[in-house]
Structure 1
């Protein structure tokens, strides 16, 4: 099933058991922010990006190393070298993603990011070392920026896909098929939003962080929150602006977000996360956030 009808989607979703696959990844990889600078093409439709003067490449590298060290305490984490010709490559989850036995290469909207899809080292790692089959969507014409646009409930095999310039209806269909999902809900993001994973996170299949401000139709946000209730964390505008929606569960009991997001988190929402069985781990990433994404954007999961 792939539909815009939230009521039909969640009626079907309520019939599904959380037996689709592991709720969290077995490993992950990062791409170092070498040459980290303003990508002017990406800035055309990413309002979160700082001006060129707001980029500090040395601080970004230091913070990224700290993220790598912290993640390595929880799951195997590989870090690939960056490249000054691909200044957005620090956010690899938009370009590469995995499902059981296969990896998917996305079609990026902007040419500066399309270069990332051609990286032989990452393809050889996933296809050669991991021995995953390849599904290459990068050469077809429809934008589909993988787990930036598509938030996946891995336990149930559900996709929640935000449409924008970075993912159209056909791109959503291609990703639905590539990941082999049971059902996908498509919805329009609010004007000015570029990726669903900035305004929505599904945590280990049993909780969701939702920012209604990021949805063109806030009724869709409410429907998502209702599905994951009582483990639904609804963000305020301040929490939204601090990237609290750009979070990820790397294990069944911990949700990761940036230190900025953690500082903005309302005490009630922190209590809701605790009640759902999650502690919060935070890493300083303000230098990385100048690039218009936060912690979850940095992480490409390996399932």
Structure 2
């Protein structure tokens, strides 16, 4: 069941959005407990770290970076707004108005729909929050969705994303109180490993079941690893998992060994200035399949 024959396990390209005008978005902070206070934001440092991420990613896959806009301070996390599958792109419906503006980006839509000639599925104007690959962690090799429900995605939003991305099956589960996105507490790496933070699940049994599904390549995070955004990681190729330098520093030696046993080296990029915005490396990356 759920054979690894659905599609490529990792993306063929990616895009980013620069953190121009990067600052605290008070609307988003209402349900993002990871977001720092306004005094902790350093826009120039965030730009420099983001450029370093772009350079590093460009070494392993084509990576486009779109200009940022001070009117959309959270746009540095475009994976919540845009997602792709073979021949199509999906525009999500964000919970907060400050983020709903991001869905109107004509340049990104024209790139995906015009340059790449992908068909558009626009969920941004319907009523149900569905923050795409923030809420929905996808095992692309199996066509399997793992969707964390919160104020950022309800059950109907999960169903809409499942249909739009053409997935085989989607498991819906409640996130723990205070968690806003599944991709902070869960990652599936190239279809053959999972990084799981039980603290982020309302029902620890769901986290255990996901870990069992990917055993022996299940990396179960401690609370310290969770707090350092180790769950917000991504495989951009079959042999490397990417995470922030903060997450890499917190990684337990045993979990590093488990990643190595699963065939993954770890590559880290300093992103502490970006992490003030309540997300980390994976949140910055919109994958193109």
TM over 0.5: yes
1:196-242 Cα deviation digits (max 9, x unpaired): 00000000000000000000000000000000000000000000000
What is the distance in 2 between the residues matched to 1:183 and 1:93?
Answer: 21
Does residue 1:43 correspond to 2:43, yes or no? no
Aligned to 1:170: 156
RMSD: 0.2
Cα shift at 1:290? 0.0
What does 1:141-180 align with in structure 2 at a 5 Å threshold? 141-180=127-166
1:91 aligns with 2:63: no
Cα deviation, 1:38-96, whole Å, max 9, x if unaligned, reads 00000000000000000000000000000000000000000000000000000000000
Q: How does 1:220-259 map to 2 (within 5 A)?
A: 220-259=206-245
Deviation string 1:147-205 (CA, Å, 9 cap, x unpaired) is: 00000000000000000000000000000000100000000000000000000000000
Q: SS state of the match for residue 233, structure 1?
A: strand
Cα separation, 2, equivalents of 1:93 and 1:175 = 13
User: What TM-score, normalized to structure 2?
Assistant: 0.99
Shift of 1:287: 0.1
1:3-14 to 2 correspondence within 5 Å? Answer: none
Q: Matches of 1:33 and 1:183 in 2, distance apart?
A: 34
Q: What is the alpha-carbon distance in structure 1 between the residues aligned to residue 127 and residue 155 of structure 2?
A: 12
Q: Which residue is 1:138 aligned to?
A: 124
Report the Cα offset of residue 99 of structure 1.
0.1
**Moved beyond 6 Å, runs of 4+:** none
Task: Tell me the distance in 1 between the aligned counterparts of 2:81 and 2:19.
Answer: 15
* Cα distance in 2, alignment partners of residues 103 and 274 from structure 1: 33
Aligned length, in residue pairs: 285
* Structure 1 residue 277, shift from structure 2 partner: 0.1
Shift of 1:294: 0.0
Structure-1 separation of matches of 2:251 and 2:116: 37
Unaligned runs of 5+ in 2: none
Where does residue 20 of structure 1 map in the other structure? 6
In structure 1, C-alpha distance between the alignment counterparts of 2:61 and 2:53, rounded to whole Å: 12
CA distance in 2, matches of 1:130, 1:254: 26
**1:10-65 deviation digits (Å, cap 9, x = unpaired):** xxxxxxxxx00000000000000000000000000000000000000000000000
Any stretches of 5+ residues in structure 1 without a counterpart? Answer: 1-18
Shift of 1:117: 0.1
Post-superposition offset of 1:271: 0.2
Aligned-partner Cα distance in 2 for 1:145–1:218: 23
